[in-house]
Amino acid sequence: MDGHVDLGRYGEDLAARYLRDRGLQVLERNWRCPEGEIDLVALDGDCLVVCEVKTRRGTGLGDPLEAVTWRKARRLRRLAAAYLRSRPSAVPQVRIDVIGILAEPGRRPVLRHVVAVGS
């Protein structure tokens, strides 16, 4: 991995595979609108899942999950609403998840999944 973009893509690939392995259907990757971007949009049964992925090479800047502050969670809720406006459908539930990945060089990546942040 050469840079920040490669690290982010690597983390999103791991996260998408992790969600699929747990039975979720990944609908979108890097969905963009004027308000911002959603890393992953998935379907978990009848629940739409907006998933933020944070990947770090180390903990010098803190745990990857710590990067999702209350401000970021609020922004993710706005992005979830924008996504639903753009894709009218009968989705009864929406939740916001965060996947943190610690990808230290020479070690197996460690993935942590937090379900329904800020609920």
Cα–Cα–Cα angle for 81, 87, 90, rounded to 5 degrees:
85
Residue 95 confidence class, pLDDT cut points 50, 70, 90: very high
Q: Is 7 helix (H, G, I), strand (E, B) or coil?
A: helix
Q: What pLDDT does 118 receive?
A: 65
Residue-wise pLDDT for 4-17, tens only, equals 679 999 999 999 99
> For 60-87, what is each residue's pLDDT tens digit?
888 899 888 889 889 999 999 999 999 8
Q: What is the rounded distance in angstroms from the CA atom of residue 10 to the CA atom of residue 3?
A: 11
Domain 4-114 classification at class level: alpha beta
pTM for the predicted model, two decimal places: 0.91
